Amino acid sequence: MAIPSLDAFQVIADPSRRQILQMLTYASYNINSISENFEMSRPAVSKHIKILQTAGFVTIQIVGREHYCILNQQGFNEIRKWINHFDKFWNNKLNKLETVLNSKKINQ
């Protein structure tokens, strides 16, 4: 059975998942260490981590009995593509405005 793909924006819409991603920019943490930063049960934190893992934002590395969460670039690719689309749009608009303003300067 295939795992349904998750929309990256729905995944990061949850504030707890965004906080987990922020934490993982500093270091890899085991699930217990992550749980200590939230006022929710460890199983609830594990569920958030599983969603992040399924969406490609987090990789789980097993060291002995510990499961460490590590950021994974794959999950951010969809978001990056979406933002890049709008960056190109705005850069194009600004370049056109610059052209118009420069032509007005020359004509004065």
Residue 43 sits in a domain whose CATH number is: 1.10.10.10
| pLDDT tens string 25-69 | 999 999 999 999 999 999 999 999 999 999 999 999 999 999 999
CA dist list (Å): 59 to 18, 29, 74, 82: 15, 11, 10, 23
Note whether residue 67 is domain-resident: yes
Which residues have C-beta within 8 Å of that of residue 59, sequence separation ≥ 6? 53, 69, 70, 71, 72
Q: What is the pLDDT of residue 4?
A: 55
> Which residue range(s) make up the domain with 20?
9-72
In terms of domains, do 44 and 82 share one? no
Q: What's the total number of domains in the chain?
A: 2
Percent above pLDDT 70 for the chain: 94
Site of tokens 């929710």: 40
Judge whether residue 108 has pLDDT over 80: no
Q: Which residue has the higher pLDDT, 4 or 42?
A: 42
Q: What is the pLDDT of residue 102?
A: 84
In terms of domains, do 26 and 58 share one? yes
In terms of domains, do 18 and 68 share one? yes
The per-type count for the chain, helices as H runs and strands as E runs, is: 5, 3
In terms of domains, do 64 and 101 share one? no
In terms of domains, do 20 and 51 share one? yes
In terms of domains, do 54 and 105 share one? no
Note whether residue 87 is domain-resident: yes
CA dist list (Å): 36 to 28, 52, 75: 14, 18, 24
In terms of domains, do 93 and 68 share one? no
Euclidean distance between CA atoms 9 and 87, whole angstroms = 18
Note whether residue 53 is domain-resident: yes
Taking the CA atoms of 64, 20, 34 and 24 in sequence, report the sign of the dihedral they define. Answer: positive
Note whether residue 108 is domain-resident: yes
Q: What is the pLDDT of residue 6?
A: 80
| pLDDT tens string 55-105 | 999 999 999 999 999 999 999 999 999 999 999 999 999 988 988 888 877
